[in-house]
Amino acid sequence: MTALLGTAPALAVSFGNLNVTPRGPQNLNLETGATDLPQGGTATDAKSGLKLVAAQMQLQPGKQLTAQGATVTLRQGGTLKASRVVYDLAAGTVTATGEVQYNDARFQNLRAARMTVFLKGGVVTAAGDVRASNPVLGTPAVSFDPSTMQALAQAPVNLKQGSLKAAVGSGHLLVTFSGPRVLRATNRVDSATLGRFAPYLK
């Protein structure tokens, strides 16, 4: 069965909490309600402070926005770039895959196979051969909580910034920041802290 398509001019549209401004025409599937933006555009979410600019976008009403060649700017100042980004409206998450790169005041050139931003609290989680250039970091997964200025990394993990060096072969490494710099790092992580990060480091 052939899908019914309608083409609309490039006008801003509301999509849940998002305000989407297409760069070109919009192709609406009249059967599913999905909208394709083949030339991409800009999506902003005033509630979470998110801004997404992408080369292509697909909108599924009430469900998700999928974008290719995307750059996401977060309220706390982080910038996330990836080949593919999915904004799950119900879950309140932004998941990036493919050539993922993240930068903010604390992490420079952080790369991973996958990154997820939890918009409600601003927690950022990176997983899959995570590497960063400053601080120098290598870990299977790390989660950063801006409300506490702490990051929890899964072992095996190596961390270096200036004279501070830490290497953990098992368990976790808790990293505390003061501004853009690492204040301290410890492998002594209490159960309350592990519990706080558990929903993000699954």
Give 48-67 pLDDT, tens digit per residue: 899 999 999 999 888 999 99
Q: How many domains does the chain have?
A: 2
Vertex 71: Cα angle to 65 and 72 (nearest 5): 70
120 and 191 fall within a common domain: no
Give the pLDDT band (50/70/90) at residue 34. Answer: confident
The answer, yes or no, to whether residue 1 has pLDDT greater than 70, is no
Task: Please check whether residues 83 and 65 belong to one and the same domain.
Answer: yes
* pLDDT-based confidence at residue 32 (cuts at 50, 70, 90): confident
Overall average pLDDT of the 132-152 stretch? 97
Per-residue pLDDT tens over the stretch 7-20: 555 567 777 778 99
Q: Where is the domain boundary, 99, 129, 159? A: 129
Nearest in space to 150 (alpha carbons), one of 192, 97, 113, 120: 192
Is 93 a member of any domain? Answer: yes
Q: Of 109, 129, 149, which residue is a domain's last?
A: 129
How far apart are the C-alpha atoms of 201 and 143, rounded to whole Å? 7
Residue ranges making up the domain that contains 35: 1-129
Give domain status of residue 30, yes or no.
yes
In this structure, of 30-39, 63-72, 73-82, the range with the lowest mean pLDDT score is 30-39
Q: Which residue type is seen at 163?
A: S
